[in-house]
Structure 1
């Protein structure tokens, strides 16, 4: 089987990146309307903020759940589910004229937040290694691109048309993207198997909802209020209980044994801190641009102009995607993430020092966005290098969730900072210049913290060959399964490969502690050859029939192939010769 031509790969990347942009657009389309919602919806200002908060909470809950389901039932299938939920949520929002149905619609839109990690996971399964770095960088940058372009577009559309048009447009884009996915994106053959961890999903959802609700609403309710403190307490208890459950259940929502690997753990920690740093710009720069010039430091721009000034930053994120891939290919994604964090820190320092003219903030935002583009392309690469391919979607979703927690915390902390350090202008309290400078210095400092954390990530990823799952957890569509033994004893950590027509490697796995193995299908095709190797011992045999196959293998020092069930084994060449002749991998 030959690798799809470059044209098909380019189409796949373009469609998935479009899906990421469409989903990120819906996060920003309501920003110009937030000050107007109390009048438009006949609601209080505090209640109107639920239009934003509901989306945040739904996204946090959905991201890890969708990631796990994607590994189990198919990434393309869950991608389409997310897009269709986005369309339904947009339609409900477009038909709304009161607060409650709009909050329901926005919640459904938030459930689509898993599209970006799903797209990255599909790329890992479908693209050759030579294309994966630049493709994942572009997919990650789609978050920033959609956010940067969404603000000026939605502000402009809201001024010239009815606000409901924003949601009709979002739904239409979602529907078009779903059609493109159905037509042009193939399903991944990778499956993790197992059962869905409902209890773990509920516990994590409770923890995330309480945590993010306290963070986002604590400023209004009071950080020391009983409601806020109770939410934080419930979040801690639920998170601890969830962690203990995940370590005990055989089918975890998030495999914490893998997530606590040094490379994954530190990458997720750096992602959370970096998410804080990145989002500070989105809160500080628009306000500084729109403050009246009478303050002495405000630039007196409209929201449309402010959005247009920040839009080039989104384009810079996309432009930095191939640069991020090249640095990662030459020096590793760890280096790329460190460079990105350093660039972001420099961009904030530039803004803190120079912010008296529009072009100052334009330059600062371009520098910051360029650093974000570099870093966001490296994070998925670091995670995917340290997790089995059958857990790609869940691992990327967790990383995406950590970034979301960072941005939510940035929103709360920066909001408090700008609300507390104020001066009275024209009868209204507005943030002082010192508050904006302090917020930018905080953004620079958190970027440097992310750089330091990244410095502790191992230069070489931990070995992550996909270990065979227990019989009740192995993928139901495994090509071959069985037990590897030698001299009657189980053989753990044996490499088991399945080769098809033309030497295509259809799947590879490793035997577990009890010698059991199950090889999932990484490529479509008919199985022709089974090859097993461990510590210099090897076994190879032909596979005939439609499958799936069951083969219990005995490894012998003399390389004599033997099988404990089925017809007699046809002698074949030893392992090294078998793979050199028949084991060529696609791409």
Structure 2
């Protein structure tokens, strides 16, 4: 599948001649991989950071939270800016800022500086919507679904690999080297994009909606801080409830303001289309259900067997439980792309949710044996790969090319918010009970959290089924091009 994408020629397109898409596609993969790695590479080093800076768990958690906050905002803002001013230009700029943040993190000598550096790093999140847009604009149409499937899989692969690589690095060197290694990958990505990716000719003229950007940023920040700190502050505390209310108010005002701006940051009418609404809702629930595995599986593996469960694995060994997930995602993403191009995106998205349910059922029922945990990770990887590819393609195929960055950016935010909420609630469930006489979480907490994720993915399957279009449209089998709403083509005609 990879070979097909790499070797296809785009000679029919003006100015392309016989130039293939292999080099541009590899450059985009490297760019998005550099960001996805940095999401989790710091996670195994958190205990070392606590010891070195003599910090509380809440303080250290901001190393993750600051990155999450800025990445959520940058995804929407820079996706829209790329649609306006050029996706390649904005992609290189966002990766350059990402590199600066990574350099600062590598040189950090205090926890405050490290948290600030991680906030700067979050700007690199724009790589995903911008890469999707470049693929949509420049690749042969019949190759777009598989290419997007592979790029989507890279998100989860980097996430999983980022949990495996840091263990040996920290053991042999120190946590600073996590960022030095990441910086090398980022610089390679910048060089590759600059050398092999040409600028897109598709534009969506307008002005930057700074009022909308401020309102969206404030709303998302309030929401994610409430989610991130809810466990330590208490979900019913005044600060947590106040932030949730503030987030709701800010996002309502944002939606109201966007309807009255000539060039909005986010077109609210676009979000109300059935295809967009169902895909964003599904992304929220899929994120909630799936992200818990990324944090709970290593934690369970590291629990000493004297707790009555767990495998007493080291940081490095616990990360290996995520390797099957990364491997199956690499295959599942492009496979979902081919399936969606043949029969539409509803079927692979529903299958993604159901396969994810099966993976979490395996976790819940048989987490007392290592082989079952590996098997559960492999199954879940198929579900994650299908979900990421189907969601990205659903959004890309439902909007005009000039709005790809905007639409995919919002979908990424929905998945991030869902993932943050799911991870925090799963962590709260696991921490709610301990093994008598120890500080280890009770095994029942993991079982409950895995069952909760399975239920969430079952609900996601229902949300995907509620989306427009039949589950298996016979007419789509003859067309390899993603379906697009008629309203998109009509809108494009009005702008022509």
Moved more, 254-263 or 306-315: 306-315
Which residue of 2 is the match for residue 492 of structure 1?
Answer: none
Counterpart pick for 1:190 among 186, 202, 205: 202
The answer on whether the counterparts of 2:48 and 2:175 sit within 8 Å (CA) in structure 1 is no
Q: Deviations over 1:280-299 (max 9, x none)?
A: 11122111111101122111
Question: What displacement does 1:462 show?
Answer: 2.6
**Counterpart-to-counterpart distance in 1, 2:319 and 2:19:** 34
**Counterpart-to-counterpart distance in 2, 1:361 and 1:180:** 37
**Counterpart-to-counterpart distance in 2, 1:104 and 1:355:** 38
**The structure with more strand, counted as a fraction of residues:** 1
Question: What displacement does 1:466 show?
Answer: 5.0
Counterpart pick for 1:510 among 476, 481, 493: 493
- Compare CA radii of gyration and give the structure with the larger one: 1
Q: Deviations over 1:288-325 (max 9, x none)?
A: 11110112211111110111221221121111122112
Secondary structure of 2:21's partner? helix
Confirm whether residue 388 of structure 1 aligns to residue 400 of structure 2.
yes
Which residue of 2 is the match for residue 160 of structure 1?
Answer: 172
The answer on whether the counterparts of 2:399 and 2:484 sit within 8 Å (CA) in structure 1 is no
Query: Structure 1 residues 306 and 248 mapped into 2: Cα distance closer, same or farther (>3 Å)?
Result: same
Question: What displacement does 1:10 show?
Answer: 2.2
The answer on whether the counterparts of 2:34 and 2:186 sit within 8 Å (CA) in structure 1 is yes
The answer on whether the counterparts of 2:87 and 2:130 sit within 8 Å (CA) in structure 1 is yes
Which residue of 1 is the match for residue 367 of structure 2?
Answer: 355
Confirm whether residue 56 of structure 1 aligns to residue 79 of structure 2.
no
Listed as ranges, the matches of 1:216-235 within 5 Å are 216-235=228-247
Secondary structure of 1:465's partner? helix
Question: What displacement does 1:6 show?
Answer: 8.1
**Structure 2: 5+ residue stretches without partners:** 1-10, 470-482
The answer on whether the counterparts of 1:389 and 1:466 sit within 8 Å (CA) in structure 2 is no
Question: What displacement does 1:464 show?
Answer: 3.3
Confirm whether residue 102 of structure 1 aligns to residue 125 of structure 2.
no
- In the superposition, the TM-score normalised over structure 2's length comes to 0.92
Secondary structure of 2:435's partner? strand
Counterpart pick for 1:441 among 426, 444, 451: 451
Counterpart pick for 2:102 among 90, 106, 128: 90
Listed as ranges, the matches of 1:392-403 within 5 Å are 392-403=404-415
Question: What displacement does 1:467 show?
Answer: 5.5
Question: What displacement does 1:125 show?
Answer: 0.3
Question: What displacement does 1:375 show?
Answer: 1.4
Secondary structure of 1:356's partner? coil
Which residue of 2 is the match for residue 464 of structure 1?
Answer: 487
Which residue of 1 is the match for residue 8 of structure 2?
Answer: none
**Counterpart-to-counterpart distance in 2, 1:184 and 1:128:** 16
Q: Deviations over 1:11-49 (max 9, x none)?
A: 222221121111011011111111221221243332122
**Aligned residues between the structures:** 471
**Counterpart-to-counterpart distance in 2, 1:25 and 1:47:** 22
Which residue of 1 is the match for residue 462 of structure 2?
Answer: 452
Q: Deviations over 1:512-570 (max 9, x none)?
A: xxxxxx53xxxxxxxxxxxxxxxxxxxxxxxxxxxxxxxxxxxxxxxxxxxxxxxxxxx
Question: What displacement does 1:440 show?
Answer: 0.8
**Counterpart-to-counterpart distance in 1, 2:488 and 2:377:** 41
Question: What displacement does 1:162 show?
Answer: 2.0
The answer on whether the counterparts of 2:41 and 2:166 sit within 8 Å (CA) in structure 1 is yes
Secondary structure of 2:386's partner? helix
Question: What displacement does 1:443 show?
Answer: 1.1
The answer on whether the counterparts of 2:398 and 2:488 sit within 8 Å (CA) in structure 1 is no
RMSD: 1.5
Moved more, 394-403 or 108-117: 108-117
Which residue of 1 is the match for residue 142 of structure 2?
Answer: 130
**Counterpart-to-counterpart distance in 2, 1:353 and 1:312:** 19
- In the superposition, the TM-score normalised over structure 1's length comes to 0.78
Structure with the greater relative contact order (CA < 8 A, sep ≥ 6): 1 or 2?
Answer: 2
**Counterpart-to-counterpart distance in 1, 2:198 and 2:324:** 33
Counterpart pick for 2:338 among 301, 318, 326: 326
Which residue of 2 is the match for residue 71 of structure 1?
Answer: 83
Which residue of 2 is the match for residue 576 of structure 1?
Answer: none
Confirm whether residue 151 of structure 1 aligns to residue 159 of structure 2.
no
The answer on whether the counterparts of 1:18 and 1:142 sit within 8 Å (CA) in structure 2 is no
**Counterpart-to-counterpart distance in 2, 1:370 and 1:304:** 23
The answer on whether the counterparts of 1:386 and 1:463 sit within 8 Å (CA) in structure 2 is no
**Counterpart-to-counterpart distance in 2, 1:381 and 1:417:** 34
**Counterpart-to-counterpart distance in 1, 2:190 and 2:31:** 8
Confirm whether residue 280 of structure 1 aligns to residue 292 of structure 2.
yes
Which residue of 2 is the match for residue 481 of structure 1?
Answer: none
The answer on whether the counterparts of 1:203 and 1:241 sit within 8 Å (CA) in structure 2 is yes
The answer on whether the counterparts of 2:288 and 2:419 sit within 8 Å (CA) in structure 1 is yes
Which residue of 2 is the match for residue 546 of structure 1?
Answer: none
The answer on whether the counterparts of 1:388 and 1:464 sit within 8 Å (CA) in structure 2 is no
**Structure 1: 5+ residue stretches without partners:** 469-508, 512-517, 520-587
**Counterpart-to-counterpart distance in 2, 1:5 and 1:270:** 40
Q: Deviations over 1:435-477 (max 9, x none)?
A: 1111111111111111100001111753133566xxxxxxxxx
Moved more, 54-63 or 9-18: 9-18
Secondary structure of 1:254's partner? coil
